[in-house]
């Protein structure tokens, strides 16, 4: 993926990883559209800067995705990069009957959202120069956190979907996966100040440095996520799962 001169749509751009990735790309000479459900947080991301735009829509709503995709293509025909970053994470007790509302919302946002938005934009992206799709998954795609079973499952599924997209699209569209470790954001209560998580600034610096190379890796990984990503290869899956289950 080229570093500058892109027109990039970043979902979940109102906070956390999405906000800081969007700011990095904008600072490096790209037109960036940040998307999310809350206008105020999107405006905080952009700060009213030139070449930095907002689009309000809900990636969990199929009709809203279709509406937003049409508007984005009409307003930003140069769009050549889609970053599927929006996501929610809910703690669940899957050991007893419960209201599945959180599970259903997680699947709609984390998995069906990227699938639907990619589907709505793929024909357009294939007509652009240097097109790319960046899917943000998680280290929990490779070893689940049992306290967040649906979140972990959606990220595993998005990893698999990303691999399939890459195989089928070939050279037509570059497909990149960013798999974060636990990062200090507001994804869950107390996470932004928990020392167990990677500082957001460190994650952004290490991640975006990999977009600056001559060739962006198909999987963008930071140091703290490597043990999760390679747990099966290294024979440590059981140990890692037990450790996560104790949290």
The string of DSSP codes covering 15-39 is SHHHHHHHHHHHHTT-EEEEEES-H
Instruction: Provide the β-strand partners of residue 52.
Output: 32
Q: Rounded distance, CA 69 to CA 89, Å? A: 25
Active site includes 197? no
At 244, which helix (H) or strand (E)? Answer: helix 237-245
Catalytic residue among 91, 151, 161, 197: 151
DSSP symbol at 53: E
Q: Which of 66, 193, 156, 167 is nearest to 118 (CA)?
A: 66
Q: Which of 107, 112, 118, 200 is nearest to 152 (CA)?
A: 107
Q: Rounded distance, CA 7 to CA 188, Å? A: 30
CA 50 to chain centre: 24
DSSP symbol at 230: T
Residues tagged active-site: 151
């Amino acid at each position: 993926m080229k570093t500058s001169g892109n027109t990039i749509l970043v979902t979940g751009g109102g906070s956390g990883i999405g906000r800081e990735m969007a700011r990095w790309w904008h600072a490096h000479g790209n037109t960036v559209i940040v998307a999310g459900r809350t206008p105020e947080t999107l405006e905080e991301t952009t700060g009213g800067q030139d070449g930095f735009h907002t689009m309000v829509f809900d990636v969990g709503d199929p009709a809203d995705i279709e509406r937003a995709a049409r508007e984005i293509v009409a307003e930003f025909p140069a769009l050549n990069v889609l970053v599927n970053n929006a996501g929610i994470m809910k703690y669940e007790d899957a050991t007893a009957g419960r209201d599945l509302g959180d599970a259903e919302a997680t699947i709609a946002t984390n998995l069906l959202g990227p699938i639907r938005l990619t589907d709505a934009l793929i024909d357009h992206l294939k007509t652009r120069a240097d097109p790319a799709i960046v899917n943000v998954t998680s280290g929990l795609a490779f070893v689940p956190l049992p306290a967040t079973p649906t979140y972990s499952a959606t990220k595993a599924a998005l990893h698999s979907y990303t691999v399939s997209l890459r195989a089928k699209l070939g050279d037509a569209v570059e497909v990149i996966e960013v798999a974060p470790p636990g990062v200090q954001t507001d994804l869950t209560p107390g996470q932004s100040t928990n020392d167990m998580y990677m500082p957001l600034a460190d994650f952004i610096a290490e991640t975006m440095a990999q977009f600056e190379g001559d060739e962006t890796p198909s999987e963008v990984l930071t140091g703290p996520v490597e043990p999760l990503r390679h747990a099966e290869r290294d024979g440590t899956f059981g140990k890692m799962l037990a450790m996560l289950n104790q949290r």
